[in-house]
Amino acid sequence: MTGRSCWSTFLLACLFHLEGSSIWAQQASTPVLIRDVTHACELRWEHARSGLFEWTETKWVAKASLQPAELGGLVNAAAIPPEDMTHTYHNLFEFDGGKYRFERSGPTWNAGEAKYSSTQHVGVWDGRQGIVLRHDMGFPHGELYGRGWDLTQPPLRPLVMSLRPLHPQWSQIDISELVVAERREIIGGVECIAVETSPDALARMEANGRRPWKRTYWMSPQQEFVIVRSTLSLPTLPRPAEDLSITYTLDEQVGWHPSKWKFVEGGSGERPSTIIDATVTRFALNTPPAATRFQFSFPIGAWVRDTRVDDDSFIVREGGGKRPVTKQELLRGSTYRDLLNSETGKGKVR
């Protein structure tokens, strides 16, 4: 048995107090408290300090789910997408401590051309600034941030919930608004506890004029309290507005890790608006990526918006120079080509 295997076994034994009996038997005799959940989640993110996940995603999008045919009273507005669509996306996520990098490629709706176009997306947080680069408008463009970008977006949410569900920089789960419910449910052959929005938190939402959105996290004590299902629901909806199911595989060296997941969005209509099926094709935990993976610079010609400085923007020139874009140029309707081929303030002068 390897050193990591020994550590994994020791961790499981300490966490669940295994003494020759089943894990769930121990949990059934002792009520699970919210502090037990918090402690287990903290152990998970301490145990997975760095890693890499690569996965393929099949995404089905319903007709008119991005824009209905009747938009703002315009009966003849185009439905987006014009029919049900299914596309494949390739994703790569790497992290080391507080740094991370996300790459995604696949079709995105191009409003200018009214069709799906092949795109690439790269996002990096190096611990000091966030950088996002996209290729989905016919030219490279991106943003600079003074904080980490959102890791709870649907492509990354399953990994966040699996690896660092309560991490303050990664997750948006507020443990103070959750309680452990009394009910149990069998999911994937495993008995799970329900950790959900508390009645007090729901009452505060309604008192403040907000809809009482209820989040429920089904967690498996037999699998290090991993989240195997997460739902977002309202009493008035026929089904959850969001429904995420995660399947895990046990690795003798690193413990339980996500191997596939399914995300269903849209609960008010007759059918969902989005269905995502993802399968992990490669993973490694506690093997730090090369430091250069978190170093990134924009390519020449990229149009960059700096959100740290009053939304200033510029075009990247050769040698790292910048061609600032003025607000007057934007008000004149200057295009990317106008800005790329002119000096500051000269874009589309009428």
Write out pLDDT tens, residues 102-158.
Answer: 999 999 887 777 788 888 999 999 989 999 999 888 899 999 998 777 788 889 999
DSSP per residue, 291-337: GGGG---PPTT-EEEETTSTTEEEEEPGGG-EEEE-HHHHHTT--HH
Domain boundaries, the chain: 3-294, 303-340
pLDDT tens digit string along 29-47?
Answer: 467 889 999 999 888 888 8
Q: Is the dihedral of CA 274, 280, 282, 285 positive or negative?
A: positive
Tokens of 167: 């991490």
The amino acid sitting at 98 is G
As a CATH number, domain 3-294 is 2.50.20.10
pLDDT tens digit string along 79-104?
Answer: 788 889 999 999 999 999 989 999 99
Q: pTM for this structure?
A: 0.84
